[in-house]
Structure 1
């Protein structure tokens, strides 16, 4: 019976150039056997099937649920996702995206009416101390099951024992056909536009007008200073267009460097490149070695051009040496790494929107602004027309709904007139979210739009994790600001001891850092509420909604918590926002965040005596660490980030200089002295001025950071801060210390100062 259902689904999927889902619900071993039967009936080759499971030993390509990112950029005729033991929502999103038009996604699940109550290893990850797995709910799976039972294109087989298997839904939608006659067959193939510089064969290989437009934009990569951003959902052909462009540039003699999270993610780029080069050179392959083997990662042309692949880190180091760089699946790369490609003469970024590809929305949220501020002339292209499957593919619609892959904030027009004073504060109870798709979509859409890392797993956490709560501001029924909050701390002595000795305690980010890294065994005893995410509708930025939402959160939870906290990729703007909200810096990470490319700051806002004590001791520790750390681990931190982090430190700086040190400081500021004679004294004074607030202008404060605290060479500091010469930079540093000496100087220092002034 299962073989027949699979064949019928496959046949309809192929006729319509769509995809279908087959759910095998019941005993796991039975489901695995049934999956084999289904695949055997399809006549699909083993290499065209991927099994995603916690088990191993299948004859197909295998990956584990936690490693399903490996499916990015790959296509399969069938993907089997084993949802037993560890059902990871992210893996479902990856699996759906890997199924080609005419293919099947086969889900192996517990009995659907029982599945929401099942607790597996993913649920265990949501049970953060002091909560247990019994506190985790099954709302996400309840919602998912509802979509499986009602959405078109999904067949459900209830697996039985003695009673046999039962077909509950056949998943057939009726005779439907795509706008094209079949996969990859355009009704009206695009032709080369007037004035095109790429070969006509490249445009002839495009399958949609969208691809042709993208290819024309890629022509700009022949000119230094050009950048192209190509965005699309999965299956729109952006990688193919990038491959045709790379091949066209190489045929013109240019060196094109391609990078992606892994070579398999760029396989489509190189496949299209190879096809175009072979077509244009009559198969004359310049990439062959002496033994006749072709280097699939380094394709060459008779004109001396080449298209080569390097992993992201290596590619960023040599980006300036290529004629053009193509970054595929850009959203999967850390922002810090993406910045390295701005050294290229010309660059293209191909990125997937919706679906939370790769590491999330780092490209759209963080890197996008940096690209627009660069010297590049940026052209944007968006691809909407599907290529791998039909525009009305029911599986795409199902996945978008089930995982909220297309979640968006309310449209601008619906919120543009909102007033912060009129907005209503409300709890986003998971049951309310489950019952109201509009509320859920707008709230989650805000989190997706405003943050660089939001995934399907986060939707499950929002609905099921016992330590999380969500709050929002609502105006005229539309969500205009949302905060996702995590309860932390309040841990027993045994758990705190284990954390101190190196055990990882899930979901307690701030207590974990303060305990395990900063060596405070008592840090996890007070109860805290951490802001995991906070987002304001983009049409209402800088209108006070974020501050109002935080004020409401503080008022609601102030009696329950010892402190509030936040951890985030530090930028000057965010440091100012959180300082004004009453938060104070206690830590700055010693390495950059992989996704944001920024150093992470942790800040606390105390509410009780226990919270104040926690802040006091860690503010002092932060102050003391930074005195020396800024010339070591934090030597390359942006000076404005340093200024913001120090300004938000609540620990005063004791200034206790010897008379010899005061002579050096005063002499360097108003006399013939030299900074180099007492760097420690200058460091103490600079730290005090930045933490306690100075009357210096921005450039003078940056000078204190770069030269005095970070110990950068004079020449480097003078160039970075736009001084006309090194000597001018030195004089500026002396001038900066004049008001500092006036503020912190002892009677001896004042007399020493008067000595020079009166001479």
Structure 2
């Protein structure tokens, strides 16, 4: 074994590529083989990370659930142990951490038996009411096939002590890359050494773009796949700024994720003979002129003062934090990964990029395509992109540009059809990735193996233009419902879990629901009604009409569909949970969904309050909506003046408009006189807020007021925000003008709902 591993690593180092070594067999034999392989490769334990729950030897060990610690780091070797569980996210993060010339080691059970074994990750896919027996091994079967088909992947049988493939590629000699051309001296804002340290033209362009960090109000976005040198470019810019005496704040999910930024900043200051080498734990890098490069966690960075801010691994930072970092005038740079769905997935692209562009900042963008940490065409990267669909993308726009609701076909895609047709799989999964902030490699395994998941799509000339990922929820036995009521989390049952455990609806887990986990429409054909058409088709299939979707030739229904059809009954309701925005709330309301909950905390990934909505089909579904809709209407006024006080008023308006049933309007004559006096005369809102809250909630929900008027009423009457703050938020010239706007907005409400007492009071001032 030693000679073969030595040859594999020697080839990797000679080409500045990476190689993968798959060791399969019994656990302890694989561990022993891995130790021999690392020794033969000459890789020290200090340069190795083992992603495992076992003990492989002298090296850093991380459990699979903590694989996010690898983000932004570089290691000579990463060992991924798949004996206890095959977690796709951990595998993807491991690949991204291996340096050029390094080794990815995958330890697995015997390859031929691996797909049919059940492991701890499968337990996560066994969502009630389905059990572990319903989980399949399609993802692992596909993974094994890609390992055997791709170049640069060596496969060793630890039980038989034989090689299936030595992984050698015998590559042609590579031409040495030339140094990038430096910018003209008069165009340089940073020291010459910062540009000379760049290894590619892309990295040089990124450093030039980062010069904008010297300008107040600037924002710079640097994006790339892993290994392209974006963190190093950010570090060179940070070091150059520190050399000028500036205070640079660096943030990332963890300090170690941003280690490359600090290393490159220190190296540049050292080259400039400007590094203050005195130890200081608070400020990892200090310049002799007083500048510094220091770290803060993302929440702390929001309140820290600095001359410039660098956000590394921005895709893994909550969107709400990104928004707050983008507020104000401090120049800020965001370095983010394009593929890989690290951390929060594509929250940066899907939820944040547009907001950044719409703000007051001047945004400069740089993209790095040429690899630095390893050579272009690296076989491990090519394998990982295919195996985990890290570069999956929707069909090219030209092929679907003519799609309309009249030209598309509603189809069911079973996992066998997706595995059998790589183009179909890439198109469907790529659409989910492009449209959603939280799609990651684990979701690929869920799509292929989870028994509670089914896929429906609209296709145009056979190409996917809209796709919905649907999950079975509810239909739970009484014992499980009781456990949920007592606080036990039941995986994969979002609506029943929240309604039962948090909102104390003991029977919420009894009705059968179908939750829309994801829905995505191709960018080229948005705003044509395709999303609504897909939801209508889903409702027609799983509701009372029972119009089944066609399957691909020769394919049988997946476990969810088969189980549903065996009942002979419709689902009780369709449900959805999402990071609430005014646009999304309008979309789901028009699709027939009604609000049952608005979370009091923000989602870490989207930065938004989550809304839960229901579209009922049966009496049981109607009862679920009636109980929880009534609870929502009773509780929301108090929540808006407390935990939801900072919620976007537009979101509140959307949630109220989507309610089923009426808000109680139990005002007595005295309260009506107080409201009318405020609307038409000398009355004061602050002296009796209760009737105003009741009236505003009812009027907004009924649509009597809408748009900015409704949002102002919500912000003041329901959220109790001060007029001084609202004047600026809503564009009034003064606090007094804002008060007048609020008072004027009460007029249509009094006209719509006011009784005799209100009319008499109003007549006094007219």
Instruction: Say whether the fold is shared (TM-score over 0.5).
Output: yes
> Counterpart in 2 of 1:54?
53
* Bigger Cα displacement from structure 2, 194-203 vs 533-542: 194-203
Structure-1 residue corresponding to 2:40:
41
User: Does the aligned pair in 2 maintain the 1:179–1:390 contact within 8 Å?
Assistant: no
Distance 2:68 2:495 in 1: 28
* Aligned counterparts of 2:719 and 2:323: Cα–Cα separation in 1: 22
Is residue 327 of structure 1 aligned with residue 311 of structure 2?
Answer: yes
Residue 301 of structure 2 aligns with which residue? 315
TM-score by structure 1 length?
0.95
Aligned pairs for 1:655-674 (under 5 A) are 655-674=665-684
Please tell me whether residue 300 in structure 1 is matched to residue 310 in structure 2.
Answer: no
Aligned to 2:125: 126
- Separation in structure 2 between the aligned mates of residue 686 and residue 644 of structure 1, nearest angstrom: 14
Q: How does 1:333-482 map to 2 (within 5 A)?
A: 333-342=317-326, 343-482=328-467
| 1:183-212 deviation line (CA, Å, top 9, x unaligned) | xxx433443444212111111111111111
The answer to whether the 8 A contact 1:190-1:207 is kept is no
Q: Aligned residue for 1:10?
A: 9
Structure 2 match to 1:183? none
CA contact (8 A) 1:334 1:596 kept: yes
SS in 2 for 1:348: strand
Note the alpha carbon deviations across 1:579-604, whole angstroms, 9 max, x for none: 00000000000000000100000000
Aligned mates of 2:132, 2:591 — CA distance in 1: 34
SS in 2 for 1:317: coil
1:187 aligns with 2:173: no
1:731, CA displacement in angstroms? Answer: 2.9
Q: Return the offset for 1:222.
A: 1.1
Structure 2 residue 175 is the aligned partner of structure 1 residue 176? no
Gap change, CA 1:106 and 1:74, over 3 Å in 2: same
190 and 507 in structure 1: CA distance in 2 versus 1, 3 angstrom threshold:
same
Question: Out of 472, 491, 495, which is 1:487 matched to?
Answer: 472
Partner of 2:553: none
How far off its partner does 1:33 sit? 0.7
Q: How far apart, in 2, do the equivalents of 1:178 and 1:100 lie? A: 18
Q: How far off its partner does 1:419 sit?
A: 2.3
- 1:167, CA displacement in angstroms? 1.1
Question: Contact 1:499–1:512 at 8 Å: present in 2 too?
Answer: yes
SS at match of 2:276: coil
User: Which residue of 2 is the match for residue 258 of structure 1?
Assistant: 250
**Residue in structure 1 matched with residue 596 of structure 2 by the alignment:** 586
**2:506 aligned with 1:521:** yes
Question: For 1:596 and 1:44, how far apart are their aligned partners in 2?
Answer: 40
Match of 2:723 in 1: 714
Q: How many residues align?
A: 739
Q: Which runs of 5+ in 1 are unaligned?
A: 181-185
The whole-number CA distance in structure 2 between the counterparts of 1:196 and 1:455 is 40
Residues in 1 aligned to 2:194 and 2:8: alpha-carbon distance in whole angstroms: 35
Deviations 1:282-313 (A, max 9, x none): xx53251xxxx355843222333222221211
Deviation at 1:738, TM superposition (A): 2.2
Alignment of 1:555-574 (within 5 A): 555-559=540-544, 560-574=570-584
Shift of the 297–420 alpha-carbon distance from structure 1 to 2, 3 Å rule, reads farther
Deviations 1:194-237 (A, max 9, x none): 42121111111111111111111111111112211111000001
The gaps in structure 2 that reach 5 residues or longer are 545-569
- Given that 1:472 and 1:481 are in contact with CA atoms closer than 8 Å, whether structure 2 keeps it comes out as yes
Report matched runs for 1:196-235 at 5 Å.
Answer: 196-235=188-227
Q: CA RMSD in A?
A: 1.4
Separation in 1, partners of 2:275, 2:745: 65
* 2:610 aligned partner: 600
* Partner in structure 1 of residue 632 of structure 2: 622
Using the TM superposition, give the Cα deviation of residue 578 of structure 1 relative to its aligned residue in structure 2, in angstroms: 0.2
Partner of 2:483: 498
**Change in CA separation of 1:312 and 1:579 when aligned onto 2, cut-off 3 Å:** same
Secondary structure of the 2:339 match is: coil
The residue aligned with 2:523 is 538
Quote how far apart the aligned CAs of 1:673 are: 1.8
Deviation at 1:724, TM superposition (A): 3.0
The answer to whether the aligner puts 1:641 opposite 2:651 as a matched pair is: yes
Distance 1:178 1:50 in 2: 30
Match of 2:548 in 1: none
Structure 1 residue 159 displacement after superposition: 2.4
Contact 1:243 1:273 in 2 (8 A): yes
Q: CA–CA distance in 2 between the matches of 1:351 and 1:129?
A: 36
CA separation of 1:697/1:87 partners in 2, compared to 1, >3 Å: closer, same or farther? closer
How far apart are the structure 1 equivalents of 2:641 and 2:543? 38
Is 2:757 the partner of 1:748? yes
State whether structure 2 residue 711 is matched by structure 1 residue 702: yes
**Quick one: structure 1 residues 697 and 545, their matched pair in 2 at CA, closer, same or farther if it must change by over 3 Å?**
closer
Worse overlay, 333-342 or 718-727: 718-727
Aligned to 1:498, the other structure's residue is in SS state helix
**Cα deviation digits, residues 686-712 of structure 1 (max 9, x gap):** 111011121x35232122101111111
Question: Secondary structure of the equivalent of 1:524?
Answer: coil
Question: In 2, Cα distance between the equivalents of 1:91 and 1:677?
Answer: 57
Task: Please state how far the C-alpha of 1:73 moved relative to its aligned partner.
Answer: 1.0
Deviation at 1:630, TM superposition (A): 0.7
| Deviation readout 1:31-52 (Å, 9 max, x if unpaired) | 0011111111122111011111
2:665–2:695 contact (8 Å) kept in structure 1: yes
Work out which of the residue numbers 740, 748, 755 in structure 2 matches 1:739: 748
Cα separation, 2, equivalents of 1:548 and 1:134: 34
